[in-house]
Amino acid sequence: MSGKKITISDIAKALGISKTTVSRAISGKGRIGSGTKDRVMDYVEKNNYEPNMMAKALAGQRYSERQHTHNLAVVWPDDYSAMEIPFFQKLIVGIAEIAANYGYDVMLTMAANDNITGLKRIIENHKVDGAILTRTLVDDVALVYLKERGVPFVVVGSTGYQDILWVDNDNYDACVELIEYILGKGLKRLALIGGSKNHIITRTRFKAFKDAHEKHDIKIDEGLVYLDIENTQKLDDAIKDILSKDVEGIICMDDGFVGEVLTKCAEAGVRIPEDIKIASFYDSTFLENSRPPVTALRFNDRNLGAVTASSLIRSIEGETVPSQRLKNHEIMLRKSTETE
């Protein structure tokens, strides 16, 4: 190959290593074994890979091939609510643990649905090697931006966008399983309370709710489905409306809705589980210790974060990484769905 302009891809292919490793060896920065670095530099010297050529090659690289910072961006939605804090806390712990094991640090940035100024600043200043989006949206501005820039990234949750690396809990199967369990008790009129329909997780849970009913040949009452519940007033209005109807059970998409449901039921003299059964698509210590304890789906969110971080770092290192749906849920059966 002497006399021919070679690229980082050529070197990586010839030596059987990743382009990331070649980039680290040439730049002299980043964690890399001395033996591997010597192999790269020996190849560079033998093939007349001159410094000015290196500079030009580095300038034309994709984002993932540039000098490594060993930083990962974690993009946190700035419209998160208090009810989502436990999920994000466990997720971040899992991400940080794996990042540290690989020698990476974590940078946290906030993003709104259409305002990703902070993320753009980090990416355009090359402060990170890749990013993790902790929420997936139907119209996902951050996802589109990262894809267009060629930045390695992983999304937490399923997505309707094509050719995107994602890691998700088995939310659909878990929600179907929980609803089938409740319907199996003979209940037919279930109300559903959920958040924004622009969140993929909301749509996934709603589909599971409908499909579970169809499997039992039960038609859901659309008048008992309350979505886009994003503030206390809307939640209070929804609960009041539910309690005015002939309802046998209330399903909450998140644990944060449950506290207000329990309070309003107590105020109205509605007994749980004698008069109405209650369950949640997401568990927390609050549900376990509430009065009565509430049946819910428990996921290993710390593991979700760990797998997500590992997938991103492997992708940065040049591996082909598949998307994953983690089968790690269990139904925590508690008093709120007991029958006499």
Domains in the chain with CATH codes = 8-65 (1.10.260.40), 71-169+301-327 (3.40.50.2300), 171-299+331-337 (3.40.50.2300)
- Note the pLDDT tens digit of each residue in 195-204: 999 999 999 9
Ramachandran angles phi, psi of 291, nearest 5°: -120, 105
Q: What is the pLDDT of residue 51?
A: 47
- The predicted-structure confidence for 15-63, as pLDDT tens digits, reads as follows 888 777 777 777 665 567 777 888 888 888 787 665 444 444 444 556 6
List the beta bridge partners of residue 298: 330
Digits of tens for pLDDT over the chain (340 positions)? 445 667 777 888 888 887 777 777 776 655 677 778 888 888 887 876 654 444 444 445 566 666 678 999 999 987 665 556 778 889 999 999 999 998 999 999 998 877 899 999 999 999 999 999 998 888 889 999 999 999 999 999 989 899 999 999 999 999 999 999 999 999 999 999 999 999 999 999 999 999 999 999 999 999 999 999 988 999 999 999 999 999 999 999 999 899 999 999 999 999 999 999 999 999 988 898 999 999 999 999 999 999 999 999 999 988 899 999 999 899 999 999 998 6
Give one DSSP letter per residue of 120-187, joined into a string: HHHHHTT--SEEEESS-BSS-HHHHHHHHHT--EEEES--SSSS--EEEE-HHHHHHHHHHHHHTTT-
Contacts of 273 (CB under 8 A, 6+ apart): 292, 335, 336, 337, 338, 339
Query: How high is the pLDDT of residue 30?
Result: 58
pLDDT at 62: 62
> How many other C-beta atoms lie within 10 A of the C-beta of residue 66?
15
What pLDDT does residue 52 have? 44
* This prediction's pTM: 0.76
Phi, psi values for residue 137, rounded to 5°: -120, 160
Q: Where are the alpha helices (DSSP H) in the chain?
A: 8-15, 19-27, 34-46, 51-59, 85-101, 117-124, 141-149, 171-183, 200-215, 232-243, 255-267, 285-289, 301-316
Would you tell me how many other CB atoms lie within 10 Å of the CB of residue 45?
A: 10
